[in-house]
Amino acid sequence: MTLTDLGRQPHRCPAEIKPSWARLKATHKSVSGLFDTLHVLREKAASEGDPRGRLSEDQLDQVRAAIMFTSAGLDACLRRLLRDALPGLIQGGGEAQGRFKGRMIETRLTGNLTKETKAAITDTDPRTRLIELYVEDLAGSSLQGHTDLIRVRDALGLSDKSLANEHLKELTDFFSARNEIAHELDLLDPSGRGDRGRRHRELLKVGDQCDRVLHLIEGFLRATAAQLKAL
């Protein structure tokens, strides 16, 4: 299994994109390394007379690690992207500005105001402080499913076809695998009843999932770079 290469960094890449792009490249390198190691392990087993059929438990752990590394990269890249790029997009107006106003009215400026919200409103630069709160609300927790990806896309005001809802929903199987590994150690029955064996992961399927996620991150970064340059 070999991941497809990333494209070149966007031409005249905005400064707000570069930290996330560096994280994407590091994630791609790490996940590629895991698959390379798995290939070596399988070749060694084959040379010792072990037929290359079902993955061993040690090899499956490499596959599981690829899912977790990819998930960590998704979180690191998009959360950093929100912190670096969203303030400028909001200040530039357009879709991001509208999303900011609507979301703040729904969550921060209705009912009993929180201590943080009151402090932002009474700050010498309340708009900047409210934007900072908004960004932290979006970027403060890990991405758990395709609905979180939709939320990030909409906040950034992106309309690229590669980030359409139907494409983001295609990653449901990846997020399910990630959660099964992170929260259940990939056990079939984490409660301890019945079959407690671990789930089997198909190498090619996992490789395809990781590849799709990495190129999805690339799509987010390219679309955001285009938005920033348009300002």
pLDDT tens by residue, 140-199: 888 999 999 999 999 999 999 999 999 999 999 999 999 999 988 888 765 655 555 788
Which is more confident, 189 or 66? 66
Distance (Å, whole) CA 173 – CA 18: 29
pLDDT at residue 136 in the model: 93
pTM to 2 decimals?
Answer: 0.90
Task: Yes or no: say if 210 and 32 are a contact pair by the CB < 8 Å rule.
Answer: no
* Pair 67, 177: CB distance under 8 Å: yes
User: Can you tell me the mean pLDDT for 58-87?
Assistant: 95
Amino acid, single-letter form, for residue 151 = R
Quick one: pLDDT at residue 213? 98
Q: Give per-residue pLDDT as tens, 104-137.
A: 999 999 989 999 999 999 999 999 999 999 999 9
As a whole number of angstroms, the distance between CA 223 and CA 231 comes to 13
Residue 33 has what pLDDT?
95
- Comparing C-alpha atoms, which of 72, 83, 86, 84 is closest to residue 213? 72
**Mean pLDDT on 84-104:** 93
pLDDT > 70 in the chain, percent:
94
Q: Which two tokens stand for residue 225?
A: 């770079």
Q: What is the structure's pLDDT at 51?
A: 61
Average pLDDT, the chain: 91
pLDDT of 85 reads 97
What was the pLDDT predicted at 188?
Answer: 79
